[in-house]
Structure 1
Amino acid sequence: MNPEHDCRLLREPTDELLAWHDDVTARHESAFEAATELTDRLGVHADGDGNARVGFWTPELVEDGVPADDVFLDVLTPPEGVDPGDTDVRRVEFRRERVPLERRGEYHWGVVAGMRPGTRETLGSLYRLAYRTDDGWETVSDPLAYSVPFGAFAPAEFYDVERLDETRADREYFRTLGTDAERVSTTDDDGLPRVDPAVSMVEIHPGTATESGSLAGLAEVYEEIGRKRRAGEELEPWERNFAGYDAIQVMPVEPLTENEEEHDFWSVEAESDDAVTAAVSRPEMINWGYDIVVSAFSAPNPAILESGRPDELVDFIAACHDLPRPIKVVFDVALGHADDRGAELLSDRYVLGPGMYGKHLDYTEPTARAVFLEMQHRKMDFGADGIRVDGAQDFTSHDPETGEMYHDDAFLAEMDRVTQEVAGTEYRPWMIYEDGRPWPREDWELASSYRALVEQHPHSFQWSPITFAHNTPALLTFWATKWWRVREIGEFGGHWLTGVANHDTVRRGTQLDPTVEFNQSPVNPYLGDDYPETLDEAYDNPASSMLFHCFLPGVPMDFVNANMRAPWGFVRDTDAEWNVKVVADESNFLFWQVRDEDFENPEFFRRVKDLGFESREELRTFMNALSAAVDATDYDLDVMAAMLSAMDQPLGDGLSAGDLETYAHAWMRDVHDFANLSAWRDAQDDERTRLSLAVREFRHDRPWLRADLREDDYFTYRHPTEGTVLYYGLRTSPSGDEELLFAANMEGVPVTVSPESLAADAVDDENAPAIPTDGWEILLSAPDVDGGAAVELANADAAVWRRVP
């Protein structure tokens, strides 16, 4: 063993660390304020002298009476040359060293020499806390780790994030942040710059956006778009679906839960006091991103890191920042809950109890509260420009006096105040909340204002009511019945994210039963000739795109899967308990997203075909029966298997619960592959994607459109509808040098419109301004609309006229 690399506790710097701890606790009367300062040093950090500064909050060890002398840092150093990006399972022998730590209150601290820091090129030492018990050794994961190359349930990696920050390719982007008026126009009360909102944004799921399903693959897409833009080259039709935005909201990139029956990326095969031999691999999981375990939240999800290195997240962000028109990156943060398996990794002090999505976190526990905020801080310091807080209405705490839960707006305010520091520049990000309170109250869709957080934090944004989860534009009368909500966007939507397509709405669309004859509106017959075409058109059409990008206030957001007219569903193979139910809930996916020719394509649905399903119809029959069995048995897998064994289906007549789980796993994998956007690149229409890109560029040329409608602007719909829901309106630029006239057939039979007809229609409205009838020219129109004095707008067609007064 090389003495230069032996891990050992350094006495003098450890004593200085303990003295600092004592000073912090003495200076603060508030437990939360003290914890806020202490949590900054939790985890394992390179200290600048080649050593590792170590800190763990361990209340459970103190409560259980574990002697301080029995607590160690368990350091596992790999041999040189181990590739953390390799998804093949291989046996690796790690050198083990246990280093004693020092206890102060509920914390353990130490400065340790000899640990190998991870870098872009090198897998660093793995670590976890370990303590001796009468039954052997127990371990504690680091919830504030920066890297978990083998998943959140494996030891974390000591990673040199300071070096990562010092070598990032977009340092100049951050150095100039505070002086760049195009990116920052306001500062907070304490003088820190606050990143400006985007003009328009696209939501992307990294796991299905490219063939590799990695952040590296997504970076390559934007690097090539940037190269073509600089060279003046034409973008491919599929590339246009990623372009024209100045922000990307990436669905969560945090470490995820794992299916104990399917996933094993770290498996100890032999161990001693000096060595651990483990079978390891980079995680391969499919998940939409929201099933986080909270522990290691600060680290990137290794399943979307092609290299297994956290650098890949920074490289993707740098690629976006390096475009001719830089693209902001917005992280989607789901700290409102934890998957059930998160309880295996977190102290009980982090968890209040069971919740709607797994575990309800305890935001009132002072140190846990500080750790959650530190997790956010560390994750955002990878270089994000903005943060979208998933399900802000779910951040609730318990009031012991009333015995009721309340919205913890004080914690959301703390999230808003978190300061980022990247490349030496301090700033605060663009803040976006998804908040549908009083959801889940039954009347939430009527009662929610979608403005609660904007009113508390006027610089922040919220998802609009049209953007929130339960919108179904594939159904007839959607745009008629949602008019009151659309009208609100015009009145006070300047701080809303708008648009109908996102990861939730498209998924909800695929869950609709199109055969229902009562209790819901019928499927819009004008959108398409079959269900997949109808769904594609519902979430990506000229009328809705031009409504949000060319006329209404706020920040329009699209979903890249909808842009690509590609499938999207609820993809996750990480849930051992509810996997079959999740698949059963997606039974209508076969109506909405799969054509016969898709199923017949040998590249698609290979796993369920291997199980014996030979046609889409046969598969649909089984899926409908599976869904019915879930409801009939209250999700009793054994009874479900017996019921389904009695029907004629390819899985046989002796089905077990395990067979249903095998089927569900195969289905999830097949849908994940089916939804991968690389499979749909050649299917893109040149004319459609060209118009969509032009619509987004129209918005960028007129950033003033983001503001609420003014008194002399006008927005309405024609009524009586007479078979067509016609939205139209007039907007004038603040300088008065441009007028825009918008008209869209949102749904219904074709209608002929012109500036003259719209002006005549508005005469009957005493609140309408006089719409000029001369000097108009069409700037944008749906591909099949012929420009002229009057245009015929079929269902989902739109036109925008421009006039210079």
Structure 2
Amino acid sequence: MNISVNQTKTDEFSQRIHQKTRKGVTSANAGLISKNLGAHVDGPETTFLIWHPKIKDAEKVYIEFYLPSIDLIFDKPEQHCNVTYYRFETTCINEFSLVVMNNLPTGNRDQFGAFYQFILQDEKGEETVVLDPMAWSMPYGIHAPAEVYDINKVLGNREDKEYFENLASSFLSLDDNRLGPSTNLLEIHTGTATMDGTLDSLAKRYKQIAAAVENGEDLSPDEKNLIGFDGVELMPVDPVIEHPEAHLFWNPIQTPEENGSEITLHLRKPNVMNWGYDVVIFGAAAVNPSILSTGRPHELLDLIETLHMFPTGPIKVVLDVVYGHADNQALDLLPDECFAGPNIYGQNLDFKHPLLRAMILEMQRRKMNWGFDGIRVDSAHDFKYYVEEQDEVYYDDDFLKEMSNVEQSVADVDYKPWMIFEDGRPWPRTDWELACTYRVITEKQKHPFQWSPMIFAYNTPYDYTYWVSKWWRIKEHFDYGEKWISGYANHDTMRRGIQADPKTVNVNFLLGNSLKMVMINAYNNPSTTLLMNSFLPGVPMDFVQALGNTPWSFFRNTDTEFAIKIAAEEAYFTEWQITDVEYRNSRFFKKLKNLGFRKLEDLRRFAKSLLNFVKITDYNPENIVELINQTKPAFNPEEWTLEKLNEYAWAWMGDIYEYCNADMQADYMDSKKANFNYQTRQFRLKNPWLNNNFQSSDFLKFREPVEGAVIYYGYRRNIDTGKEIVFLANMEGQSRQITPTKLDLPITNPGMWEAAIATPSVRAREIDQPIRLSISQGILFEKVF
């Protein structure tokens, strides 16, 4: 294959970039420049453009290529692969380097393309590797060369074109081609949703369910937990941080000598475990290779196509993105000019830098052009900038508006996605939980939704009096809920729930006779599900792990600096989510058992002690080791070193990641709850008017005096159709017998009302008959004409 520089096209491209940048990069031209960044395939030609301020001081800039042989098999855990090496000098314009190449092999559904990286050489001949932050494909992670990927060819053959052709008449609002919201949502973490933990396996699972639905076959509880939604929200699928030693996925065995020479690579299939939010911004247009079975990004397209063509009706796909901050690893990948100082997550980004600002928006556009219908912006309160003259930090609401105005083009259809923002401002001010309105962005912009107060991180519905103490937030749903994502179980609430010391909270043991059962029934609570899915305004969201009674935690096996601290902070997971029965199960906790923790009581004691030592020493690992070895009685295992402590953190994350996999817990799923939850979702889909705010006749109350049981009851009426519903539930407390007609509900003709949905074990009764409701039980009536 004749790989060569197309000098004529390079010169033409150089002139265009020079024209755009001759007066510097400004907010006016940054957007145009960002669209050219990265590698773009056009037939036999591939155009490369990269930005890095150090380019202007480099003596020469080269681009290196590694052309893989056909024996590259991504699925192999470890392999040696031969590649052919090429190196060419590029053209530099101030802070930009560019070149147009002929005849490069390009990646698609079926094959890998050339891998590439840039080399900056100074006047002494010393070289610095610069990787492409705007790449379409990074099969071997953020610290390896990117892949030349023909995105247009892959997307040009998408199978859900008809879905997009119908958008104009079915989903778009009339004013600005904005997609409307879903009626309900399912939140999915790809890595723990299936046994394989890949986009490919998730797509196949949905295809299997689709086939079963079309054939009228019964679904298992875990299958039923995935449907009954008209929207799916994927937790972040961007490349995440990597362990600097354990995640060496790309390793050349020889040093190449000249163009056309063959070298051998030692390759490992990426196996990063992460909940998805530890990002570096770098590579955000690409897909995390650890959730790819084949290494081919089209697995994401396959999932989107499958959901868009689901037999019961199209399912919208929402993408969760993290652009407000970057992990410290970003310092090694992005130019220094991108950062504005450290924060609690790692690094603040300089959102006033015009090119970085444009690059983030372009990354968003590229990722969404896979065919996403909506975007959820994580921690919108982190988009800030500092004004030195005023010594003040401001929220960058203009940037959030720019994000909302990014237009997608999919299957020749232009549209703007449904926007969702998580915004907790004035976080991190100490009074944020009281001061946060969860309405700032919905008041500044017309279209977006925000996460509601009830699904924000610090909600623990296993506390006694929770449903009374949170009443003020519930009441806000009446007036503002139609612009909120509602619900109560998600990746944040469940994670925060297990971090609490059970001895410091008033655990509601009416929910279960063990901490594990309390946790399960708090976050998969029939009365709460009935309230959120079948009565309150908003777009209710469920979480795969909660629906499947599956544990959830914070996990990442991606660093050495904070690994011990992170593992320690999950200490109470051992009490909330593990019993002796699970710990004795041979399929779980293999790594921890191999370290010597043969009994759960030993693991609990060590985990809680480690957490205390982290606090006492202000996280000084060396001092922590000393305290561990001085503790009496000695831990089992006994002698500890810093190396062994890091091994513990690694084992912890690996075991918990496996334990939190929904497929691993399929045997423990509750079929009655799965059927009930599905029923509430079906009710919501049939009654989308419930998403709207309360009208003048609508209400929700709790019975007073409480007298040991928090009984919620309420009434709603569809003003367009006249449909009426009545809600009744025991949210917490002792069992009580309630007669709906004795409450102040507008029930004038009891014979016209019938039970529409009842929680498991509740006998459907007449609306004028007494109903005994224990904790977590409820019933919904509707008026029949």
Same-fold call, TM > 0.5? yes
What is the DSSP-based 3-state SS (H/G/I as helix, E as strand, rest coil) of the residue aligned with 2:502?
A: coil
Shift of 1:770: 7.3
| 1:31 pairs with 2:31 | no
1:15 to 4, 11, 14: 11
Which stretch has the larger CA shift, 693-702 or 451-460? Answer: 451-460
Q: State the one-letter code of the partner of 2:757.
A: L
d(CA) in 1 for partners of 2:148, 2:666: 39
SS at match of 1:270: coil
Q: What does 1:623-634 align with in structure 2 at a 5 Å threshold?
A: 623-634=607-618
* Residues 97 and 273, structure 1, Cα contact 8 Å, conserved in 2: no
Q: Does 1:310 align with 2:297?
A: yes
Q: Which string of whole-angstrom CA distances, capped at 9 and with x for unpartnered residues, describes residues 542-600 of structure 1?
A: 11101011111000001110000011111110121111111111110011100110000
Who is 1:66 aligned against?
A: 58
Matched, 1:739 2:755: no
Aligned to 2:137, which of 143, 147, 159?
147
Give the counterpart of 1:783 among 755, 760, 766: 760
**Deviation of the 1:477 alpha carbon:** 1.0
Matches within 5 A, 1:666-745: 666-745=651-730
Match of residue 54 from structure 1: 48
> What aligned pairs does 1:401-412 form with structure 2 within 5 A after superposition?
401-412=389-400
Mapped contact 1:198–1:247 kept (Cα < 8 A): yes
Q: Residues 654-673 of structure 1 correspond to what in structure 2 (within 5 A)?
A: 654-673=639-658
- Cα separation, 2, equivalents of 1:735 and 1:409: 36
Deviates more, 1:209-218 or 1:785-794: 785-794
Measured after TM superposition, the shift of residue 105 of structure 1 is 3.0
Does 2:469 correspond to 1:481? yes
- Aligned residue among 2, 5, 24 for 2:2: 5
Aligned residue among 343, 346, 368 for 2:331: 343
Q: Does 1:42 align with 2:31?
A: no
User: What displacement does 1:651 show?
Assistant: 5.2
In 2, Cα distance between equivalents of 1:653 and 1:804:
69
2: CA distance, partners of 1:625 / 1:714: 49
1:265–1:280 CA contact under 8 A, matched in 2: yes
Cα distance in 1 for residues equivalent to 2:636 and 2:82:
42
Match of 1:263 in 2: 247
* Aligned equivalent of 1:547, options 524, 531, 551: 531
Matches within 5 A, 1:597-676: 597-647=581-631, 648-649=633-634, 652-676=637-661
**Unaligned regions of 5+ residues in structure 1, if any?**
763-768
Partner of 1:509: 497
Q: Give, in whole Å, the separation in 2 of the partners of 1:703 and 1:186.
A: 20
Q: Is the 8 A contact 2:549 2:670 kept in 1?
A: no
The amino acid of 2:676's aligned partner reads L
d(CA) in 2 for partners of 1:156, 1:332: 23
From 219, 222, 225, give the equivalent of 1:235.
219
Q: What is the distance in 2 between the residues matched to 1:651 and 1:270?
A: 45
1:531 aligns with 2:515: yes
How many residues are paired up? 776
**CA 1:649–1:167 in 2, change beyond 3 Å: closer, same or farther?**
farther
**CA displacement, residues 444-487 of structure 1 (integer Å, 9 cap, x when unaligned):** 11111101111112211000001111000011111110001011
Q: Quick check: 1:510–1:588 contact (8 Å CA) kept in 2?
A: yes
Q: Which amino acid aligns with 1:149?
A: P
CA-CA distance at 1:171 after TM superposition: 2.1
Between 352-361 and 437-446, report the one with greater CA deviation.
352-361
Looking at structure 2, the residues matched to 649 and 323 of structure 1 have their Cα atoms a distance apart, in angstroms, of: 57
Equivalent in the alignment of 2:84: 95
In the alignment, is the contact (CA less than 8 A) between 2:351 and 2:385 conserved in 1? yes
Q: Deviations over 1:400-427 (max 9, x none)?
A: 2212211011111111111111122111
For 2:434, what is the secondary structure of its paired residue?
A: helix
How far has the Cα of 1:774 moved from its partner?
A: 4.8
Partner Cα distance (1:246, 1:649) in 2? 54
Aligned to 2:268: 281
In the alignment, which residue of structure 2 is the partner of 1:765?
none
Question: What do residues 289-335 of structure 1 show as CA deviations (whole Å, max 9, x unaligned)?
Answer: 00111111100000000111101111111111110211111111001
Aligned twin of 1:216? 200
The residue that corresponds to 1:766 in the other structure is: none
Cα distance in structure 2, aligned partners of 1:475 and 1:558? 20
Question: Could you tell me which residue of structure 2 aligns to residue 323 of structure 1?
Answer: 310
Q: 1:109 & 1:206 partners in 2: Cα distance?
A: 36
Whichever residue aligns with residue 133 of structure 2, its letter is: P
- CA distance 1:300–1:649, change in 2 (3 Å): farther
* Segment of structure 1 superposing worse, 107-116 or 557-566: 107-116
SS of 1:256's partner is: coil
CA–CA separation in structure 1 for the residues paired with 2:354 and 2:682: 47
Q: Which string of whole-angstrom CA distances, capped at 9 and with x for unpartnered residues, describes residues 644-703 of structure 1?
A: 113345554431111100011001101111111111212222222111100100000000
1:708 to partner: Cα distance: 0.2
Q: Distance in 1 between matches of 2:755 and 2:275?
A: 41
**Structure 2: runs of 5+ lacking an equivalent:** none
Report the counterpart of residue 299 of structure 1 in structure 2: 286
Report the equivalent of 2:556.
572
Task: Tell me if structure 2 keeps the 8 A contact 1:78–1:95.
Answer: yes
Q: Does the C-alpha gap of structure 1 residues 424 and 184 become closer, same or farther in structure 2, counting only changes over 3 Å?
A: same
1:184 partnered with 2:172: yes
Q: What secondary structure, in the 3-state scheme, does the structure 2 residue paired with 1:546 have?
A: helix
Where does residue 120 of structure 2 map in the other structure?
Answer: 131
Q: Work out the CA distance in 2 between the residues paired with 1:202 and 1:564.
A: 12
Whole-Å separation in 2 of the counterparts to 1:292 and 1:799: 43
> What is the distance in 1 between the residues matched to 2:64 and 2:748?
74
Asked whether the 8 Å contact 1:755–1:776 carries over to 2, the reply is no
Alpha-carbon separation, structure 1, partners of 2:178 and 2:206: 25
1:802 aligns with 2:782: yes
Aligned to 2:428: 440
Q: Pairwise CA RMSD of aligned residues?
A: 1.6
Q: Matched residues in 2 for 1:29 and 1:740: separation?
A: 62
Work out whether residues 487 and 540 of structure 2, in 8 Å CA contact, stay in contact via their aligned partners in 1. Answer: yes
Q: State the shift of 1:339 in Å.
A: 1.0
Cα distance, 1:438 vs. partner? 0.4
Give the superposition deviation at 1:737: 2.8
C-alpha displacement at 1:640, in angstroms?
0.8
Of 335-344 and 77-86, more deviation after overlay is shown by 77-86
CA distance in 2, matches of 1:770, 1:802: 11
- Assess if the C-alpha contact under 8 Å between 2:548 and 2:670 holds in 1: no
**After the TM superposition, which of the residue ranges 695-704 and 790-799 deviates more from structure 2?**
790-799
**In the TM superposition, what is the alpha-carbon distance from 1:792 to its structure 2 partner?**
1.1
Deviation of residue 169 (structure 1)? 2.0
Kindly indicate whether the alpha-carbon contact (under 8 Å) linking 2:61 and 2:89 is maintained by their aligned counterparts in 1.
Answer: yes
CA distance in 2, matches of 1:771, 1:93: 80
Whether the 8 Å CA contact 1:73–1:128 is kept in 2: the answer is yes
1:171 aligns with 2:161: yes
Give the aligned partner of residue 107 of structure 2.
118
Q: Is the 8 A contact 1:247 1:328 kept in 2?
A: yes
Q: Percent identity?
A: 38
Tell me which residue corresponds to 1:290: 277
Which residue does the alignment assign to 1:162? Answer: 152
Offset at residue 61 of structure 1 (A) = 2.1
Matches for 1:364-379 after TM superposition, within 5 Å: 364-379=352-367
Shift of 1:755: 2.6
CA contact (8 A) 2:318 2:372 kept: yes
Q: How many Å separate the matches in 2 of 1:105 and 1:632?
A: 51
